[in-house]
Chains A and B, each alone.
Chain A
Amino acid sequence: MKLTSFGTANRTPRQEETHPLTWRLRDDGETVWLDEYRQKNGYAAAQKALTEMAQADIVQQVKDSGLKGRGGAGFPAGVKWGLMPNDESMNIRYLLCNADEMEPNTWKDRLLMEQLPHLLIEGMIISARALKAYRGYIFLRGEYVDAARILNRAVEEAKAAGLLGKNILGSGFDFELFVHTGAGRYICGEETALINSLEGRRANPRAKPPFPAAVGVWGKPTCVNNVETLSNVPAIVANGVDWYKALAREGSEDMGTKLMGFSGKVKNPGVWELPFGITAQELFEDYAGGMQDGFRLKCWQPGGAGTGFLLPEHLSAQMFAGGIGKVGTRMGTGLALAVDERINMVSLLRNMEEFFARESCGWCTPCRDGLPWSVKLLQALEKGQGQPGDIETLEQLCHGLGPGKTFCAHAPGAVEPLGSAIKYFRSEFEAGIAGTAPAGQPETATVSV
Chain B
Amino acid sequence: MSQTNLIQTDRFTLSETGRSAIEHELHHYEDPRAASIEALKIVQKEHGWVPDGAIYAIAEVLGIPASDVEGVATFYSQIFRVPVGRHIIRVCDSMTCYIGGHESVLAAIQQKLGIASGQTTTDGRFTLLPVCCLGNCNNAPTLMIDDDTFGNVSPEGVAQLLEGYP
Contact = CB atoms under 8 A, between A and B. Distances in A.
Do A and B interact? yes
Interface of A: 4-7, 101-107, 109-110, 142-145, 178, 180-186, 197-203, 218, 261, 263-265, 269-271, 301, 305, 335, 337, 339-340, 343, 348, 351-352, 354-355, 358-359, 361, 442, 444-449
6 contacts: A105-B95, A184-B79, A184-B132, A351-B93, A358-B130, A448-B101
B137 A335 contact: yes
Contacts of B31: 199-200, 218
Contacts of A447: 101, 104
7 cross-chain pairs, A with B, having the tightest CB-CB distances, nearest first: A184-B77, A104-B94, A107-B135, A183-B76, A269-B138, A184-B78, A200-B36
Nearest to B147: A145
B132 A359 contact: yes
Contacts of B99: 264-265, 337, 339-340, 343, 348, 444
Given A103-B133, A105-B96, A184 B138 contact: no
Nearest to B39: A200
Interface string B60-102: 0010000010011001111100000000001001111011110
Contacts of A182: 37, 76, 78
Nearest to B93: A355
B117 to A, nearest CB: 11
A102 B76 CA distance: 14
Interface string B24-39: 0000111101111110
Contact of A444 (B35, B98, B136, B138): B98
Interface in B115-166: 130-141, 144, 147, 149, 151-152, 154-156
B133 A4 contact: no
Contacts of A107: 133, 135-138
Contacts of B68: 201
Contact of A198 (B34, B40, B77, B134): B34
A269 B141 CA distance: 13
A105 B94 contact: yes
A300 to B, nearest CB: 11
Contact of B95 (A180, A351, A361): A351
A203 B34 CA distance: 12
A449 B100 contact: yes
A337 B96 contact: yes
A176 to B, nearest CB: 9
Contacts of B132: 102, 104, 143, 184, 186, 355, 359
Contact of A104 (B34, B133, B141): B133
Contacts, number: 157
A106 B97 CA distance: 12
B23 interface: no
Contacts of A446: 104
Interface residues of B, number: 53
Contacts of A449: 100-101, 140-141, 152, 154
Contact of A200 (B37, B93, B96): B37
Nearest to A198: B34
A199 B33 contact: yes
Given A104-B94, A186-B132, A351-B98, A270 B138 contact: yes
A348 B133 contact: no
Contacts of B137: 105-107, 261, 263, 269, 335
Most chain A CB neighbours (cut-off 10 Å) among B72, B135, B136? B135
Contact of B139 (A5, A203, A218, A337): A5
B140 to A, nearest CB: 7
B152 A445 contact: no
A171 to B, nearest CB: 24
Nearest to B36: A200
Given A199-B31, A218-B31, A448-B104, A7 B75 contact: no
A271 B139 CA distance: 12
Contact of A263 (B72, B78, B138): B138
A145 to B, nearest CB: 5
Nearest to A217: B30
B103 interface: yes
B10 to A, nearest CB: 25
B72 A202 contact: yes
Given A101-B135, A106-B133, A337 B76 contact: no
Given A105-B96, A449-B154, 15 more contacts: A103-B133, A142-B41, A184-B132, A185-B76, A198-B34, A200-B72, A201-B72, A264-B96, A269-B138, A305-B94, A351-B93, A352-B95, A361-B75, A449-B100, A449-B101
B19 to A, nearest CB: 17
Contacts of A7: 138
A174 B37 CA distance: 27
Contacts of B140: 263, 269, 449
Nearest to A147: B135
B135 A144 contact: yes
Contacts of A186: 132
A200 B62 CA distance: 11
Contacts of B75: 185, 202-203, 361
A271 B149 CA distance: 19
Most chain A CB neighbours (cut-off 10 Å) among B33, B132, B151, B154? B132
